[in-house]
Structure 1
Amino acid sequence: MDTSTIFPFFEKGLPLRSRDLNAVFRRADAEVRHTRTCLHGMGILYGLHVTVETNTITIQAGAGVTSEGHLYCSHTPVELTNSTSPASKIIKREFKAESFGDYLDRPSTTDELNDTVEHLELNSIGTPLTSETLANKWLIVFFEVVAEDLKGCATCDKGKRANVTTKFLLIDDKVWSGNGSLPGLSAIFDCGPNTATNQSNTFTPISTTVVRLSLPDADGDSNLSDLYKNSLNTSFPGIKDELIKTCGLADTIFGLGSMGKDAASMLDVPALHPKTNGQYLYDYLRLIIRAYNEFVTTPFTRHMANLPPKTCFPKHLALGKFDANGGFSDDVRTPFYRPIFSGTTDTDFEYARQLYERLISLLINADFGSLDTEAKKELRITPSRRATFPVGMQAIPFYLKTDALQKNWRPASQFDALILSYDGTKRLQHQPFFDESDFYRIEGHVNQKITLNDKKKNQFEDLRDSLNLPFQVVLVKPLRGQDDVPSLTEFARQNPGLEHQGGVPSGGTFVVVVSGEGNTILGDFCLPYWVQPPTPKPVIADFEIKSQTTKPNEGETFVLFSTSENQNDLEWHVKGSNGDGTRLSADNHQNEYAHFFPLTNLPATHYLVTLTAKKDGRESVEKTTIVVINQKEQTPPKASFAVDAQENGDVSENGDEIKVTFTDAHKPFEIKLIFQNKSENADEYRWQLDGKLKSKAKNTFSQKFVWVAGEADPQTFTIQLTASRDGLIDIAEKTVTASLPSLNPID
C-alpha cells in the first residue's frame, strides 16, 4: 500500500496539467480499493455458489473483493452457456497490473507473448460446455483492465481511458500448478495470511509443549529431578522463543513498549532446577502455556491475522474447480479474509489486554526462592478447578507472588464480579469454597519428612480427613525393590495417566514420591481415578541362638540373632522368675543381642525371650523359652536325623552329605525328602533350611528340593536340626546335593 500523502493543490489561474488530474484519480481510486480491503476485507464475502446443468453454469448472487480491491457484486444469478473458440486468447500485461493508474501513463503491450495464459471465455457463442470442455478447469471472476487510446486521427491525441470488464473464465489447472502460470494467478491455497513475509505476525496457540515425563519407560534408577530437568531443557528453548516473538507484537498493539518481550527474554527456567527438584518449574511452564493460549484465543486475538498481500488474487476471485469428469467443487474457492479489527468490540480488546497483562505478571512474579522459607513449608490444600477450566478459575500456585497477581489473575471477574482465586497459605478450620471445587492444589511438602499421627495416618491423610475431601493418598518410592512400597516406574506401568498437576482432582489419587532412606518427600503426581493403596508385605519376627557360653555356677550367656523380615525396628525382651517371683528384663534394638541368664536356687530357671519386629505401625512377635539348669552334671541333648523316605530320584547318605542322583527318567528334577528325627535327650526342636526356620516338628520333617536342568554347578542346600532341653542345645547339620544328567538337545 502506498502510504505517501503527497498530492497537488490547485491555485487560481494555475494551468491544469494531465498528470495533476491523473494523480488525483490515482489517489481517489487507491483510497476506495484500500478501504474495501483494509476495512471490509478481501475474498468472497457471500454467495457466488456455482451449479452446473447441461451446457449451463449458474453463478448465484453474491459479492466479493479481490486482493487489489476490485468489487464484484451481483444481486441476481448469472447464467453462462458457452465458451469462445478457439480455446486460446491473449491476456495482455494489464492482467498483472497493480492499479489502474499504471495504464494511464504507459502504452498497452499487445505482443508480449510470454505474459499470456490459455483460457476459455464464457458466455459467448462457441464451444458447448461439455464435461470434456470443463475437465480440470478453474472457474474465476476476472477483472480485465485495458488502457484504450482515444486518438481520433493519426495526428490528434485525445488521451486514453481505462476499461475494466468483468469476465468469467475457465483456466486450465496447469496455470495454478505453476506450469506456465502468471504471478497474478496464484492458487488460493498459496494465499494464506502473511505469504508476503517470512515472519508471522499472527497470534496462534503455542506450538511447543512441555514434554511429559515418560514414567513407565524410565529407568528404575533414574533420579526424579533428572527426569524433570530433561523435560524442561527439551521444552524451554522453543517456548521462550515463541513467547518473545508474540510478546513483541502484543506490546505494540496494546501500547506497552517492550514490557512483555523483556519479561519473556528474562525467563530462565533451567537455572532454577536445584530449588524444587523440577516439579514446580514443570508446573510453572505448563501454567504459562495455558495462560498464553487463553490470551491468543480471545475474540479479539482470533482476528489478529494479517490480510494476504494484495498481489495474491489482485484481479480475480476463484469460484471453484471442475474435476477430470466435469464435476464441480467449491471447497477450494477464494475464502474471505477479515481485516485485523473486524468483528471485535472494545470489551474484546480490553479483555485481551488484561489477559496479556496477566501473562506478563506470570513471567515476572515467580518466587521460587521463597520455597525455602518456613512460611512455604506448611502443608496446605487449596480449592481449585481442573486444568480444563480457564486459568483464572484455578487457585494461584504458592510459588507465585500472590499479591502481585490477584489484580489480574482473573480478568473475567471485572466483568462478572466473581471472586478472585486465592493461595491457600493457611490451614483454615472452615473452607467455604471446597464444595464448588473439583481440584485441590496440594503444596508445601516437597523436601519435608513423612510423619504419622497417633492413628498411623500421614500428614496428607490427616489434612484430607480434617477437611473431609474425597481423594486417595498413595506413597511410592523412586527406586525398585525398596521394602514393601512400590517403585514409581512400576506404579506408573500399573496405573496409566500418572502426571504432576500440582494437586489432585476430586475422586482421584494423590501419589507421593518418597526417598529410599529417611522418607523425605521428593515430589508428587496424581491420577484422575481412585487407586487402592498396595497391600504391604507382612512383618515376620524370627530369631536364632547364634552361640552359647557357660559360666560355671553363675549362668549362661546366649547370643541371639534376628532373622526377621520386612522390619525397620526390633525390640528384644527377656523375662524370667525365681522362687520369689523376681522379674528380670532387658531391651535392645539391634539385630544381634547378647544376654546373660543367671542361675537361681531352683533346679531349672525358665526365661521367656520375646522379639518384636515393627514397621509403619505393623508388628510381629516371636517367643522362645530358654531354661538354665542348676546342677553340676546333666546329660546334654544330642541332635541327629536321617533320610527316612523320598519321592523321585536315588538318595544316598554319607556322613553329613545327602546326595540325590537323577536320570532323564526323573524329570522334572525335584524330590521330596522326609527326615526322621533321631535326637536324644531333647524336648524342643527347630528344623531350618539354609538358615530359615521351617518347622518345630518333633518326629519327622519333609521338604521339597528342586534343581534346574542343565546347571553346571547344581545348588547345595543345608538342613539343620537344633535339639534343646533345659537351656542346653545341640545342632546337627547336613548338606543336600544333586547329580544331574547332561543336558541333551531338544528334538
Structure 2
Amino acid sequence: MGNVLDQISKDNTRFTIFENDQVLTADQLNDLFNYLDVQNKLTRTKAIGVGIIYGLEIGVIDNKHLVVSKGAAITTDGDLLYFDYDQEFDQYDVFEDLNAKYPYFLNDSNQPLPMFELRDSRLVGAIPGKDLSTLEATTGTLLKDYVGILYLEDYNNDPDLCTGTDCDNKGITAVKELKILLIHKNNIGALLQSMPSMNKDYFSIDDLNIPRVIVNTDLDTYKELNASFNNALVVKEEIIAKLTKAYQVCKLVVEDDFEGGDPTEKWKSLLEEQFKLSESFYGQYVYDYARDITYAYNELRESLFSDDMLTSPDVDLFPKHVLIGLVRDATLKNPIPVIFPDLRIPPVREIPVLETRPISDFLRSNILRVSNIRFNFGLLIKRFNKIHIDLEYRHHFYESPILNNNNDSDELTRFNFMRIHSMISSFKVPTSTDFRSVDVGLKIIPSLFEDVPIGERSIPFYYSYNPSFPINLYWNFNANNRKKENQILSYFSNQYSNVGATVTPLKYNILKYNFFRIEGHIGFKLSDVEASLNKMILENNLPINIMSVQVEKKLETIPPRPWFFPHLYMYEKSIKSTFFDRMDDADSVNDDLVRATDAATTLIPATEFKTARQNVYDNAVDIGDAKFDYVKYRSAVSNIITAASNVKAQTKQFTFSNTAIPHDFILNSDVLRKTDIISSIYQNTLIKKKTGLMLGNFMKENPGLEHAGGVLRGGTFVIVYTADDKTVVADFMLPYASIDKDVVTNPPIYTPLPLPLPPLTPIIPKFPIGHLFELIPNYTKDLNLRLTPYIKDIDLDDRINVRVNKGVEESIKGLNIKLDGFDKRLNENSSLFTTVLTPTKFTTPGKDLGITADLNALRAAQDKMESLRDGTPERIAAERDYIKNANIITEKLGNTLITNDKTNALEVNAALAEVQSGIGLIKDESIRKEGAITVGKANVITRGFRINM
C-alpha cells in the first residue's frame, strides 16, 4: 500500500464539503478519509514522537517459547502499533513478504532477508507452524542471537476481480496485520539503517580538558613558578583545533551569525597573540582564560546533545516496523491465558472475546496494570536508559521538540558559539600600570565556583567591556533570554549597569555566593595588597582569610609578622619582673644607706648602681621586639651585678640581720642564662614560622593549594610575592581556613598590679633600713636589756622604749647586765648604732616636715579609738576623729614641695604607713569607705617617690 505520509500531495490535502442531496463519489469519500488519516499520523509523528513508547520486550522462557510484553510504538509513517496483553508464541515459520513487499526486508541485492514469523497455535484459525523448541537445532543458532521485529504488514487486497462476464466489484480491503518476526543479528545490517543517527554532531567532536597547574614544592624562583602555568598552557593547540572542528560541524546552524564568514582563522590569530602574555607574571590569567575556553567549549558540545529529540522525523526511517531488541531470558509469573483469537489490530483486540471466558482477579490486574513477564537483562554493559534495555538493536522513543521545550538546542548552540567569540575578542588583562594604586584596582566580586556552568559565574576582569560587542550579553543564555544581561556581576559591571546590587554587590545579600573573585592585585607591593585586602574584608565582613607566602626560599627576606608566643612571653616577663623588683628594692636600700651613713667615712656607690639599673631598663626590650639586642642586654645585667657587688663591698663592717638583702638576689640571679634559653627558643620558633611561609613549604603543610582566581567561602586566599621587590605575582586558594594563630595584632601588655586598698594589708616597703641590720645587738654596754616575750609596738623616739606586759616589766625591774670585754667593739660601732637605731622621726634635725603636732594628734586619736568597744557611739566618734587627722597629714605630705624632694621619701613613706595602719583598725563601714579614699591618696604619693627614684 505504501507509506501514507510519503503520498501527501495537493490532491489528498483537500476534501469535499458535503451538501444535501449530493451524490457522493469514491474520490470524495477517499479524499476526506485520507485527509483525516494524514492529520492523525502527522499529529503522532510531529507533535508526539516516533519509536517504542513502552514495553514490547522479547524473551525466551524455559520451554523455549518466546514471549513479548504488552506495549506500544509509533512508526515514522504515523502507525500506532500496540499489544494490550502479553503475548506467548510456541511456533515459527519462514517469513515470506509476498503481499506488502516491504523494501526494508530486502538486502543490497534485492534478496529477502532470512526471517521467521512467530505464531501462537492456541489461537482459533492460526496457521500451523514448526515447534519453536526445534529452531535452535534446525538452524544451528541460539534464540538469544535473534532480534525481534514488530511489523505491520500493510497492503490492499482486491478479492473480486472483473471477469469477462461479471464485474461485481465490492471494493478493495486494506489489510493491516501485526506480526512478530525474528532475524539473526548477523543478518540485520540493512535494518539497522532504519535507526536514526542521534546526536551525530555531539559524537563527532570530543571534550576539551586543560591540564592542572602542578607546582613543585622544591621551587625556589619565580621562573619555576611561571613554568608551572606555562606547562599547562600546552593546551593552546588543542583549543584551536577543536574550536575549528566544532565550527565546521555546526556551520549550517551558526554561519549566519558571523557576517565575515568563518571566524576560526581570526580566533587562531588572537589566541596566538594572547598566549604570549604567559611569559609575564600576568600569565596566571592566561591560564584562567584557557580554562574558561575549555568550559565554554564543553558547554557548546553539550548543547549538541538533543536527548533523543527528533524534529520532523523522516518517514522512510521505519515506516511499518520497529526493532524490539535481542531475545532475553525471561520467566512468567503465571501462564499467559489465551484471551484473543489472533494478532490482527485493532478489531481482533475486541473486548467481547473476554466475555466468553471469565477473567480472574489476578488476570485482570495483569491485563490492566502490570506485565506478567519478568525479563533478565543480565549484566548491563550498555548505558542506562529509561526502559532498562540495550539500545543496539532496538528503537527507543524519539520525542517531538515540544515535549523537550526546555532544550532549545539550536539556539543554545548558536549562543555558545557567540560566547566563545566574545571571550576571544574581549580578552585583555588590566595591569598595575592601568591603576593609580591598589585601592583603585583591587576588587572582590561574589561569584559561584566551577561546579556550576560558566554562565552562572561572575565575569572575570580579564574580559574588557566593549559596548558594541558586550561580553555580558553573551555570557548567560537565560539572562540573554530574559534581558537580564546587565545584572551579571563582573569587575566592569559599573560600565554597563547602574543597579546597586550589580555595581556594589558586597553591600547586598551574598549568602547565595560560595566563591569570591579577587582581582586587580597582581603587580602591586605586598604590604599595599595586604592592607587593602584586610580593610576590604573587615569593612564588608567577608567569610575569607588571607595568607602571604614567598616564592624564593630566602629566610632573611620574609617580612616579620606580629607573632606572639604566650608561653615564652609569660616566662620572660616572670623572670624580668622578678629581677626588676630586686633592682628597685636594692636601689631603695642604697638610698637609705646613703642617708644612714652621711656622717660616716664609708661611701656607698649608689650612683653607679642607679646608672647600671637604668641601663638594664633601657635594654630590657621584649625578646620578640626587633630592637632586642641580647649582647647589650647581657652587658647591662653584668654591670648591675658588678654595681650590687660594689655596694656590698662597702657594707662589710655593718652587722646585717639574718634575712637576705636585695643585692644578694641580684648577685645570685640566673636571669642571663634563662634569657639566653628563651632567646634561643624564640629564634628557632621564628625560623620555623618563616620557613613555613615559603611557597613550597607552605604547600607541604597545607595540601589542596590550587589557583582559582579567588577563594571559596570559608577558604584561604594565598598571596604569592617575590623576595627581592616584594611584588605580588600570583595567587592560590585553599578550600579551608589556614589561620596562623600565633599572629596577634594587639598582644596583651604586662602591667604591674595596682596597690591594694583597705581592708587589705597596706603596702609597706619590702626592705626598710630598719630591717637591714639588727635592731638589738647581741651585747651592749651600760644598756638595760628588757625581756620582751610579747611586743605590741615599737616606739622609736630618742631612746628605745619597748612597751611590754606590765607583769613582765615588773619581774625584770632592776635587772642590769654588765658586759665586759666588748668595750672596744661597741665603741667602734657606737656611731653606726646611733645612726641606724635612731628612731624613725617625722621631724628630723634640719628637716622639719611640719607634721609633728598632727602626728601626735593622730597617735592620740588611735590610742583613744583602740580603748573603746566596737560599735559604740564613742568608738565611731573616735574613728571619725582619726580619719580627720589622717586626711590632714595626707594632704600636707602630698604637697609638691615635699614630694619633689626624694630625700623625704623615707620620712613620708613611714608616716603614710602609720596612717594606713590606723585606718585598718576602723570598724564602721561608712568610715572605712572614707578611709579607702585616704589610702588611695597615700598610695599615689608613695608611687610618686618610687618613680622619681
User: How would you bin the TM-score normalised by the shorter chain?
Assistant: 0.5 to 0.7
CA distance in 1, matches of 2:721, 2:324: 65
Match of residue 283, structure 1, among 285, 288, 295: 288
CA distance in 2, matches of 1:313, 1:5: 17
CA distance in 2, matches of 1:363, 1:287: 10
**Residues 213 and 228, structure 2, Cα contact 8 Å, conserved in 1:** yes
Equivalent residue letter for 2:182: L
The alignment partner of 2:150 has SS state of strand
Q: CA 1:53–1:118 in 2, change beyond 3 Å: closer, same or farther?
A: closer
Percent of counterpart pairs with the same letter? 24
- 2:515 is aligned to 439
CA distance in 1, matches of 2:62, 2:219: 70
The alignment partner of 1:442 has SS state of strand
Q: CA 1:406–1:186 in 2, change beyond 3 Å: closer, same or farther?
A: closer
CA distance in 2, matches of 1:429, 1:116: 69
- 1:464 is aligned to 537
The alignment partner of 1:448 has SS state of coil
Runs of 5+ unmatched residues, structure 2: 15-28, 122-127, 137-142, 332-374, 378-387, 495-502, 557-690, 744-949
The alignment partner of 1:368 has SS state of coil
Runs of 5+ unmatched residues, structure 1: 11-20, 100-108, 195-199, 537-747
Q: Shift in Å at residue 249 of structure 1?
A: 5.1
Q: CA 1:150–1:263 in 2, change beyond 3 Å: closer, same or farther?
A: same
Structure showing the higher strand proportion among its residues? 1
- 2:152 is aligned to 143
2:160 paired with 1:97: no
Q: Shift in Å at residue 117 of structure 1?
A: 1.1
Match of residue 461, structure 2, among 381, 394, 398: 398
Q: CA 1:247–1:380 in 2, change beyond 3 Å: closer, same or farther?
A: farther
- 2:112 is aligned to 115
CA distance in 2, matches of 1:532, 1:132: 76
RMSD: 5.5
**Superposed counterparts of 1:119-198, under 5 Å:** 119-124=116-121, 125-128=128-131, 130=133, 134-144=143-153, 152=161, 164-172=176-184, 176=185, 179-185=186-192, 191-193=196-198
- 2:827 is aligned to none
Taking structure 1 as the reference length, the TM-score comes to 0.53
CA distance in 1, matches of 2:35, 2:543: 71
Q: Shift in Å at residue 498 of structure 1?
A: 2.6
Count, aligned residues = 499
CA distance in 1, matches of 2:180, 2:695: 69
Q: Shift in Å at residue 505 of structure 1?
A: 0.8
Q: CA 1:421–1:167 in 2, change beyond 3 Å: closer, same or farther?
A: same
- 1:316 is aligned to 321
- 2:239 is aligned to 236
Q: Shift in Å at residue 269 of structure 1?
A: 2.7
**Residues 89 and 119, structure 2, Cα contact 8 Å, conserved in 1:** yes
**Superposed counterparts of 1:419-498, under 5 Å:** 420-424=487-491, 431-434=507-510, 436-451=512-527, 459-478=532-551, 484=691, 488-489=695-696, 491-492=698-699, 494-498=701-705
Q: CA 1:328–1:471 in 2, change beyond 3 Å: closer, same or farther?
A: closer
Q: Shift in Å at residue 344 of structure 1?
A: 1.0
**Residues 205 and 246, structure 2, Cα contact 8 Å, conserved in 1:** no
Taking structure 2 as the reference length, the TM-score comes to 0.43
**Superposed counterparts of 1:166-565, under 5 Å:** 166-172=178-184, 176=185, 179-185=186-192, 191-193=196-198, 200-202=200-202, 207-216=207-216, 223-234=224-235, 235-241=238-244, 244-245=247-248, 248=251, 250-251=253-254, 257-258=257-258, 266-267=266-267, 268-275=270-277, 277-291=282-296, 313=318, 315-323=320-328, 329=377, 331-332=389-390, 333-344=394-405, 360-368=421-429, 372-374=433-435, 378-402=441-465, 404-406=470-472, 409-410=475-476, 412=478, 420-424=487-491, 431-434=507-510, 436-451=512-527, 459-478=532-551, 484=691, 488-489=695-696, 491-492=698-699, 494-532=701-739
Q: CA 1:371–1:3 in 2, change beyond 3 Å: closer, same or farther?
A: farther
In the TM superposition, what whole-angstrom CA distance separates every residue of 1:422-459 from its partner, at most 9, and x where no partner exists? 33569979733445532211111222222259xxx554
Equivalent residue letter for 2:229: Y
The alignment partner of 2:405 has SS state of coil
In the TM superposition, what whole-angstrom CA distance separates every residue of 1:387-444 from its partner, at most 9, and x where no partner exists? 3345455332222234634456556467598982333569979733445532211111
Q: CA 1:294–1:218 in 2, change beyond 3 Å: closer, same or farther?
A: farther
**Residues 392 and 421, structure 1, Cα contact 8 Å, conserved in 2:** no
**Residues 306 and 407, structure 2, Cα contact 8 Å, conserved in 1:** no
In the TM superposition, what whole-angstrom CA distance separates every residue of 1:604-625 from its partner, at most 9, and x where no partner exists? xxxxxxxxxxxxxxxxxxxxxx
- 2:49 is aligned to 41
Q: CA 1:205–1:519 in 2, change beyond 3 Å: closer, same or farther?
A: farther
CA distance in 2, matches of 1:3, 1:365: 50
**Residues 277 and 286, structure 2, Cα contact 8 Å, conserved in 1:** no
Q: CA 1:394–1:22 in 2, change beyond 3 Å: closer, same or farther?
A: same
**Residues 304 and 409, structure 2, Cα contact 8 Å, conserved in 1:** yes
CA distance in 1, matches of 2:161, 2:7: 36
Larger relative CO (CA 8 A, sep 6+): 1 or 2?
2
**Residues 320 and 328, structure 1, Cα contact 8 Å, conserved in 2:** no
Q: Shift in Å at residue 304 of structure 1?
A: 5.9
Structure showing the higher helix proportion among its residues? 2
**Residues 254 and 417, structure 2, Cα contact 8 Å, conserved in 1:** no
CA distance in 2, matches of 1:509, 1:261: 46
CA distance in 1, matches of 2:190, 2:305: 33
- 2:601 is aligned to none
Equivalent residue letter for 1:450: L
CA distance in 1, matches of 2:376, 2:491: 62
The alignment partner of 2:399 has SS state of coil
The alignment partner of 2:526 has SS state of coil
The alignment partner of 2:507 has SS state of coil
Q: Shift in Å at residue 211 of structure 1?
A: 2.2
Equivalent residue letter for 2:113: T
